[in-house]
């Protein structure tokens, strides 16, 4: 009994600490089926998904660091993502919407573009040099 407890405890502590470092995808623990796993089981092939997110995590880590994220922050950021979210990031980190736009620049940009089009097509004539 004692040995079993120690083994389970070790597995638990180890997986929790690995989760913390982001090495292990946070989908499986000790001997119980995780809630997230059960949901995913109903939706897809979990084993495949688990392997993908396991591989995905390393890719995402590299991509995040190459995108300028402080390496000290990456693990905690990855640990807060579910397996499904990791897979999504792994595939689309370049294409997902990244909100950051500054409104003033946007408006100036569009107005300038409009004026330029009107200028070139001769509707208005405010840029004397072009």
Partner 1 sequence: MTDLHVRQCGLTVAVLLLAGCSSNRPALDALPGAADRPPVVELADTPFFPQDAYQCGPAALATTLVSSGITVTPDELTGKVYLPKRQGSLQLELVAASRRYQRLPYRLQPELPALLAELQAGRPVLVLQNLGLASYPIWHYAVLIGFDVTDNTLVLRSGEHERLVMKTGKFMRSWELADNWALLTLRPGEFPVDPDESRYLQAVAALESTGKPGSAIAFYKPALERWPNSTLAMFGLGNSYYLQGELQQAEAQYRRMLAIQPANTAAHNNLAQVLADRGCSDAAFAEVEAALAIAKPGSSIRNSLLEIRSWLINRPTAVKPGTNCPVATEFGWR
* Site for partner 1, rule CB under 8 A: 1-5, 8, 12, 16, 19-20, 26-27, 29-39, 41, 46-47, 64, 66-70, 73, 76-77, 79-83, 85, 88-89, 93-94, 96-104, 106, 110, 113-114, 117-118, 120-123
Q: How far is the CB of 70 from partner 1 (least distance, A)?
A: 6
Is there a contact between 59 and 69 (Cβ–Cβ < 8 Å)? no
Rank residues 30 and 58 by Cβ distance to partner 1 and give the closer one: 30
Rank residues 4 and 128 by Cβ distance to partner 1 and give the closer one: 4
The Cα–Cα gap between 6 and 12 comes to 10
Structure tokens at 59: 């890719």
The Cα–Cα gap between 118 and 130 comes to 12
Is there a contact between 80 and 25 (Cβ–Cβ < 8 Å)? no
């Amino acid at each position: 009994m004692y040995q079993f407890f120690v083994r389970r405890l070790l597995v638990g502590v180890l997986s929790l600490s690995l989760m913390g470092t982001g090495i292990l995808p946070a989908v499986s623990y000790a001997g119980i089926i995780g809630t997230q796993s059960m949901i995913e089981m109903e939706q897809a092939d979990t084993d495949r998904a688990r392997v993908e997110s396991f591989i995905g995590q390393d890719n995402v880590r590299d991509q995040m660091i190459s995108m300028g994220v402080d390496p000290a922050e990456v693990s905690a950021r990855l640990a807060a993502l579910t397996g499904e979210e990791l897979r999504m990031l792994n595939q689309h980190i370049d294409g997902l919407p990244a909100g950051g736009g500054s409104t003033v620049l946007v408006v100036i940009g569009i107005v300038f573009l409009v004026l330029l089009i009107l200028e070139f097509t001769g509707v208005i004539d405010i840029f004397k040099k072009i």
